[in-house]
Structure 1
Amino acid sequence: MKKTVFITGASRGFGRLWTEALLERGDNVVATSRNKEAFEDLVSTYPENLLPLALDITNKAQVEQALQTAKTHFGSVDVVINNAGYGVFGAIEELEEKQVRDLIDANIMGTLFVTQAAIPIMREQGKGHIIQLSSVLGIWALPILGMYNATKFAVEGMSEALSHEVKDFGIHVTMVEPNGYKTDFGGSSAVSAEINPAYEKVRETLFQTEGMPVEQYGNPEATVPAILTLIDAKEPPLRLFLGNLGLKKTKEEYAKKLAEWEAWDEVAVAAHG
């Protein structure tokens, strides 16, 4: 069944790949980016199925208007993919205030604004699916990516709570958790703090960590079947890993966490009074 999918950050990376795949199979796509000219080639190929919109996700009024425009144009909004966002590389001590505030605005507030604007439309329809692009780094943390971790941890908490709030409206929520992929995440779209030599060893260790060397990154094109399967699922999962590292690494990290929590459980229980 044809669906209408609203996707942010659709001009490159995962967003562009998924936009093209959805259009190729006949879905309607509302593709958003700060620069809608990035979709000119697709508009000529899919004039009936594609609605390109210029959108700054940190502007709440723009976001609300974009969702209403999508609803008016296609008659429904079946799926929202909150894909827009970026990474900041820097040890916590190294980060500048503006770098952090801009990251929070994009990765948390932008995701929140799109989600808030989509809910009333989907509630009125009695159905919908909100897909949040989180990360394996929303489940466990790596150094030098601490504030990116923080934004994705926030998306995780917000979205898990949201899933309980909207389930009776027929709205599903899924967090997609990619590991490293050969996209522009660490390239021109990323922001890097000024390096403090005190963290040189930590940086070296980071890029030797499993999953971080570029040769271990996944192929972005390989995510397309997974996303289409997710969109078509009658009962989609709350979380979906993308790549071969997510579940493996998460099991290892949570085994360590559980062991430490168990070791300190007597102290914790005594603190209850």
Structure 2
Amino acid sequence: MSKTIFITGASRGFGKLWAEAFLKRGDKVAATARNIAALEDLVSTYGDNILPVQLDVNNRQDVINAVSQVATHFGGIDILINNAGYGLFGTVEETTEQQARDQMETNFFGLLWVTQAVLPIMRQQKSGHIIQVSSFLGLTTLPMLGLYNASKFAVEGLSETIASEVAHLGIKFTLIEPNGFATEWAGASAIQTTDSIEDYAPVRAAFAASGENPATWGKPEATVEAILKVVNSENPPQRLLLGKIAYYVVNQVYKNRLEEIEAWKEVSIAAHGH
């Protein structure tokens, strides 16, 4: 049975790749983007099964209108994939107030507005699956990505909370946590801070060197099977790491955290006071 999928940030990268995967299997897709001209190839191939919707997720009223339009057009929304977002590169000190606010506005608040708009539809249906594209940097961090890290940590906390609030309503939640992939996330979609403080030159150099080998990046097309497995599952995971770097790094991060928690166990318990 075909499903109706609402995908944000569908003009390129994961969003467009996954949209086409759903269309190929006969699903109906509402593909949102700021530039819907980038979706013309999918429209010409899949016709009425795709509804391109021009949308900037930062505008809450536009989000509400878009969700209403899609629900009316297709008769409901089975799956929401919150994929819109971008990376802000630079040290925290070099980041301007506007850059910081813009990063949170798109990566966190935009996702929140879309989620809030879709929830009433899924509550009425007593079913639905919300998939939040987070990052393995919502579980650990890298230098030069402080505000991006913060936005994804916020997405993790928000989504885990909502999942606990709506589970009894038949609504499923999954956080997708990719490592770096060969998409435009670090290219055309990225923003760089403009200030350059000399003291951070070694940090910038180390970060640049760590990403110089494209052979280490994940292949976006390899994620399609994983996404299809998640949406087909009766019991989907609350979190799914995408990529071997994400898997091994996050495993080690959690082990290190647990070791530190145990090392300071007596201090933690004594701080309770009784």
Q: TM-score, normalising length from structure 2?
A: 0.96
Per-residue Cα deviation, 1:129-187 (whole angstroms, up to 9, x for no partner): 00000000000011111110000000000000111001011000000000110001111
- Which sections of structure 1, spanning at least 5 residues, go unmatched? none
1:201 aligned residue:
202
| Secondary structure of 1:185's aligned partner | helix
1:49 aligned residue:
49
- Whether 1:146 aligns to 2:146 is yes
1:261 aligned residue:
261
Q: 2-side partners of 1:133 and 1:34: how far apart?
A: 18
Specify whether residues 102 and 27 from structure 1 end up closer, same or farther in structure 2 by C-alpha distance, changes over 3 A only.
Answer: same
Task: Write the letter of the residue equivalent to 1:9.
Answer: G
- Which sections of structure 2, spanning at least 5 residues, go unmatched? none
- Whether 1:110 aligns to 2:137 is no
Residues 8 and 84 of structure 1 are in contact (CA less than 8 Å); yes or no, is this contact kept in structure 2? yes
Q: 2-side partners of 1:66 and 1:212: how far apart?
A: 39
2:69 aligned residue:
69
- Whether 1:223 aligns to 2:223 is yes
| Secondary structure of 1:245's aligned partner | helix
Q: 2-side partners of 1:29 and 1:187: how far apart?
A: 26
Task: Write the letter of the residue equivalent to 2:197.
Answer: N
Residues 180 and 212 of structure 1 are in contact (CA less than 8 Å); yes or no, is this contact kept in structure 2? no
Q: 1-side partners of 2:107 and 2:124: how far apart?
A: 27
Q: TM-score, normalising length from structure 1?
A: 0.96
Task: Write the letter of the residue equivalent to 2:258.
Answer: L
Deviation (angstroms), 1:66: 0.8
Q: 1-side partners of 2:191 and 2:233: how far apart?
A: 35
Deviation (angstroms), 1:208: 4.4
Task: Write the letter of the residue equivalent to 1:135.
Answer: S
Q: 1-side partners of 2:79 and 2:48: how far apart?
A: 18
Per-residue Cα deviation, 1:68-92 (whole angstroms, up to 9, x for no partner): 1111111110000000000001111
2:36 aligned residue:
36
Q: 2-side partners of 1:184 and 1:65: how far apart?
A: 28
Q: 1-side partners of 2:160 and 2:10: how far apart?
A: 24
1:121 aligned residue:
121
1:175 aligned residue:
175
Q: 1-side partners of 2:208 and 2:226: how far apart?
A: 27
Q: How many residues align?
A: 272
1:95 aligned residue:
95
Deviation (angstroms), 1:17: 0.5
Task: Write the letter of the residue equivalent to 1:223.
Answer: T
Q: 2-side partners of 1:207 and 1:249: how far apart?
A: 19
Deviation (angstroms), 1:265: 2.0
Deviation (angstroms), 1:250: 1.0
Per-residue Cα deviation, 1:46-78 (whole angstroms, up to 9, x for no partner): 122010000010111111111111111111100
Q: 1-side partners of 2:186 and 2:37: how far apart?
A: 24
